[in-house]
Amino acid sequence: MVDAITAYFTSIGLIHLTVGNLIMILVGLTLVYLAVRYKMEPLLLLPIGISAVLVNLPLTGITDPPHGLFYIIKHYLIDTEIVPLLIFFGLGAMTDFGPMIADPKTALLGAAAQIGVFVAMLTAILLGFNLHEAASIGIIGGADGPTTIYLTTKLAPHLLGATAVAAYSYMSLVPLIQPPVIKALTTPEERKIRMEQLRPVSKREKILFPIATMIIVGLLVPSAAPLIGMLMIGNLFRESGVVERLSKAAQEELMNIVTIFLGLGVGSTMRAEYFLTPKTLMVLGLGVIAFASATAGGVLFGKLMMKLSGGRINPMIGAAGVSAVPMSARVVQKLAAEEDPGNFILMHAMGPNVAGVIGTAIAAGVFLSVLG
If you average pLDDT over each of 70-74, 277-281, 323-327, which comes out highest? Answer: 70-74
pLDDT at position 1, please? 59
Span 123-144, mean pLDDT? 93
Its pTM stands at 0.91
Whether residue 1 lies inside any domain: the answer is no
Q: How many residues does the chain have?
A: 372
One-letter amino acid at 168 equals Y
pLDDT at position 15, please? 86
Span 163-187, mean pLDDT? 91
CB of 235 closer than 8 Å to CB of 354:
no
CA-based Rg of the chain, rounded to a whole angstrom? 22
Span 283-304, mean pLDDT? 93
Whether residue 4 lies inside any domain: the answer is no
- DSSP string covering 223-265, please? GGHHHHHHHHHHHHHHHHSS-HHHHHHIIIIIHHHHHHHHHHH
Whether residue 21 lies inside any domain: the answer is no
Query: What are the angstrom distances between the C-alpha of 293 and each of 123, 230, 255?
Result: 11, 28, 30
pLDDT surpasses 80 at 49: yes
- Residues 61-77 have pLDDT tens digits of 999 999 999 999 999 99
Query: Confidence class of residue 136 from pLDDT cuts 50, 70 and 90?
Result: very high
**How many CA atoms does the CB half-sphere of 82 hold within 13 Å?**
13
d(CA 106, CA 352): 5
Whether residue 165 lies inside any domain: the answer is yes
Helix then strand count (H, E) for the chain reads: 22, 0
d(CA 73, CA 82): 10
pLDDT at position 208, please? 98
**What are the start-end ranges of the H helices in 241-345?**
244-249, 255-267, 272-275, 278-308, 327-339
pLDDT at position 9, please? 62
The domain total for the chain is 1
Whether residue 348 lies inside any domain: the answer is yes
Whether residue 330 lies inside any domain: the answer is yes
Tell me the percentage of the chain whose pLDDT exceeds 90: 83
Whether residue 187 lies inside any domain: the answer is yes
Query: What are the angstrom distances between the C-alpha of 211 and each of 216, 220, 235, 236, 283?
Result: 9, 14, 9, 8, 36
Domain range holding 154? 81-371
d(CA 50, CA 333): 34
CB of 361 closer than 8 Å to CB of 147:
yes
Distance from chain centroid for Cα 177:
15
Whether residue 39 lies inside any domain: the answer is no
Report the mean per-residue pLDDT for the chain: 93
pLDDT at position 68, please? 96
Query: What are the angstrom distances between the C-alpha of 254 and each of 109, 114, 250?
Result: 31, 29, 5
pLDDT surpasses 70 at 154: yes
Query: Confidence class of residue 3 from pLDDT cuts 50, 70 and 90?
Result: low
CA torsion sign for 335, 338, 343, 347 is positive
pLDDT surpasses 60 at 339: yes
